Chain A
Amino acid sequence: MSVSTSLSSPLDAVDRAIVVETQGGLPLTARPYDAIAARVGISAEAVMTRMRHLLKAGVIRRIGAVPNHYRLGYHGNGMSVWDLPDASVAELGRRIGELEFVSHCYRRPRHLPLWPYNLFVMVHGRDRSEVMTKVQAIAELCGKDLRGHEVLFSIRILKKTGLRLAQ
């Protein structure tokens, strides 16, 4: 990642400093926003106001815990991909996204003829057979709109560092 900040970035220098100080995690001290404030060089009240604003604007999706799903017993993680008519993908995507076992649901471009799929749905379960049962539930929800689907399981993680802004 480049060290320079884009001129088009919606974040100002103070917001960016808050991101850099919190992207590794929230301090585990009784007054975490005071700890961030001390490092950024503004008041805790200002940090909280800015973070509330970033949350409202969706720059922060949420503040919370990210579990290691393998450690919680979720060993099946399938990337299901769906070929749905362009006219109905938005409505179906919205309904599939409401299913409790779905973590991500996105429309993406096809690459014909190699790749006919336009909807990506991450499905999690305790094992692969539980994932396949849930994928079947999605197939039934799609009904006659379903033209084809596949489930891609990960074989191994080649790299996992996550998104990082340069310090």
Chain B
Amino acid sequence: MLDEIERRIVNELQRGFPISERPYADMARELGTTETNLIARLQCLLDDGVLTRFGPLYHAERMGGGLTLAAMSIPEEDFDRVTAIVNALPEVAHNYARDHALNMWFVLATETPGAIENAIATIERESGYPVYNMPKQEEFYVGLHFAV
């Protein structure tokens, strides 16, 4: 379990982190600890897998890239074959099996918007199943904050 200082680190560092000469020292003062301790605790939280990442989170479309969510409906007996085809594409950032008729859901991230269509065409051709493309049309909120 997390101790009090780790809890504060996990809660506060989800909100943001300074851009300054000694940002860990600045943040440590707010958290009531030292720069050295904050760095050591962050290293532990990352090593233990409590945090999956610490650093800048980039917005794919604003970097000029393409991003979409897509789904497929794959019969159970063909699921592993299609999973291998989809996962083999470097453009596939995440892929989840979900309990629905549309049972495979993946995120495509590409360096150019046009590359999304090519990736979808490749998957359809190699798998023999249609891909339902569901690009974001409007974003109302994105922000993950898990209180501990």
* A interface residues, Cβ below 8 angstroms from B: 1-2, 4-6, 8-11, 19, 22-26, 28-34, 44, 48, 51-52, 54-55, 57-69, 71-74, 79, 90, 93-94, 96-98, 100, 102-109, 111, 114-115, 120, 124, 150, 152-166
Q: Any chain A CB within 8 A of the CB of B32?
A: no
Contact of B96 among A11, A54, A156, A166 (CB under 8 A): A156
Ordered by A's residue number, 6 sampled pairs between the chains whose C-beta atoms are within 8 Å are A10-B64, A32-B23, A61-B142, A71-B48, A154-B97, A163-B65
In the bound assembly, the distance between CA atoms of A55 and B57 in angstroms comes to: 10
Are B51 and A106 in contact, CB atoms less than 8 angstroms apart?
no
In the complex formed, the residue of B with least CB distance to A55 is B19
Are A108 and B135 in contact, CB atoms less than 8 angstroms apart?
yes
Are B112 and A163 in contact, CB atoms less than 8 angstroms apart?
no
CB distance from A116 to the nearest CB of B (A): 12
B1-46 residues at the A interface, CB under 8 angstroms: 9-10, 13-17, 19-25, 35, 39, 42-43, 45-46
CB distance from A164 to the nearest CB of B (A): 8
Contact of A67 among B10, B19, B92, B104 (CB under 8 A): B10
Are B136 and A6 in contact, CB atoms less than 8 angstroms apart?
no
User: Number of B residues contacting the other chain (C-beta, 8 Å)?
Assistant: 81
Are A107 and B39 in contact, CB atoms less than 8 angstroms apart?
no
In the complex formed, the residue of A with least CB distance to B114 is A6
Q: Any chain A CB within 8 A of the CB of B127?
A: no
Are A153 and B99 in contact, CB atoms less than 8 angstroms apart?
yes
Are A66 and B54 in contact, CB atoms less than 8 angstroms apart?
yes
Are B139 and A30 in contact, CB atoms less than 8 angstroms apart?
no
Are B146 and A72 in contact, CB atoms less than 8 angstroms apart?
yes
Question: Chain B residues with Cβ under 8 A from A106's Cβ?
Answer: 136-140, 142
In the bound assembly, the distance between CA atoms of A59 and B57 in angstroms comes to: 8
Question: Chain B residues with Cβ under 8 A from A63's Cβ?
Answer: 16-17, 19, 55-57
Are B98 and A155 in contact, CB atoms less than 8 angstroms apart?
yes
* B interface residues, Cβ below 8 angstroms from A: 9-10, 13-17, 19-25, 35, 39, 42-43, 45-46, 48-60, 62-65, 67, 69, 71, 73, 83, 86-87, 90-102, 104-106, 109-112, 115, 132-146, 148
In the complex formed, the residue of B with least CB distance to A54 is B56
Are B140 and A93 in contact, CB atoms less than 8 angstroms apart?
yes
CB distance from A128 to the nearest CB of B (A): 11
Contact of B144 among A22, A34, A66 (CB under 8 A): A66
Residues A2 and B95 in contact in the complex (CB < 8 Å), given A61-B57, A115-B102: no
Known: A44-B21, A100-B145. 19 other contacts (CB 8 A): A1-B90, A2-B112, A19-B63, A48-B20, A51-B56, A55-B19, A61-B142, A62-B15, A72-B50, A96-B140, A107-B136, A107-B137, A108-B135, A111-B134, A152-B99, A157-B95, A159-B94, A160-B94, A162-B93
In the complex formed, the residue of B with least CB distance to A32 is B23
Question: Chain A residues with Cβ under 8 A from B50's Cβ?
Answer: 67-68, 71-72
Are A72 and B148 in contact, CB atoms less than 8 angstroms apart?
yes
